[in-house]
Amino acid sequence: MYDFASNQLRSFAEYDDKLPFDLAWAPGGQAIYIVCLIRKQRTALQQQLARVSYPDAKFRSITNDTDTYHGVTISADGKTLATVQTRTANDIEILPGTGAGAGSILPGISSQEPIVELDWTADGQLLVSEDDKLLRTRPDGSNAATLLSDPGSYIKEMASCDAGKFIALTWAFHGEGIPFRIWRTNTDGSGQRVLTAVTGNGVVWTCSPDGNWVYYSDVSNWNGVLRLPAAGGKAEQILGSALPNASLSAAALSPDGKTLAVLAQQTLPDSKAYAMKIALVDLGADLKSPAHVLDVNSKLKIVIHQPGPPSNNGFHFTPDGKALAFVIQNQGVDNLWIQPLDGSPVRQITNFKSQEILDFRWSPDGKSLAVLRSDPMADAILLHDAEPAPQ
Model confidence pLDDT, tens digit, residues 350-370 = 999 999 999 999 999 999 999
What's the whole-model pTM score?
A: 0.81
Q: What is the mean pLDDT of the chain?
A: 88
Residues sharing a CB contact under 8 Å with residue 124, sequence separation 6 or more, in sequence order: 138, 139, 363, 364, 365, 368
> What's the rounded mean pLDDT across residues 298-323?
86
- The pLDDT of residue 361: 96
- The pLDDT of residue 159: 93
- The pLDDT of residue 330: 92
Indicate the pairing of strand 246-253 with strand 48-53. Answer: unpaired
- The pLDDT of residue 201: 80
- The pLDDT of residue 224: 86
Q: Give pairs for 286-290: CB < 8 Å, separation 24+.
A: 287/236, 287/238, 287/239, 287/240, 288/239, 288/240, 289/240, 290/240
Ranked by mean pLDDT, which of 34-38, 113-117, 305-309 comes out on top?
Answer: 34-38
The topology under which CATH files domain 87-377 is Neuraminidase (2.120.10)
Indicate the pairing of strand 274-282 with strand 368-384. Answer: unpaired
Statement: residue 317 has pLDDT above 70: yes
- The pLDDT of residue 285: 63
Statement: residue 207 has pLDDT above 90: yes
Which pLDDT tens digit goes with each residue over 69-84?
A: 889 999 999 999 999 9
> What's the rounded mean pLDDT across residues 328-354?
93
- The pLDDT of residue 47: 83
> What's the rounded mean pLDDT across residues 193-198?
93
Statement: residue 287 has pLDDT above 70: no
Q: Are 83 and 72 in contact (CB under 8 A)?
A: yes
Q: Are 141 and 125 in contact (CB under 8 A)?
A: no
Domain ranges of the chain: 2-86+378-384, 87-377
CA angle 161, 166, 167 (to 5 degrees): 70
- The pLDDT of residue 186: 95
- The pLDDT of residue 390: 52
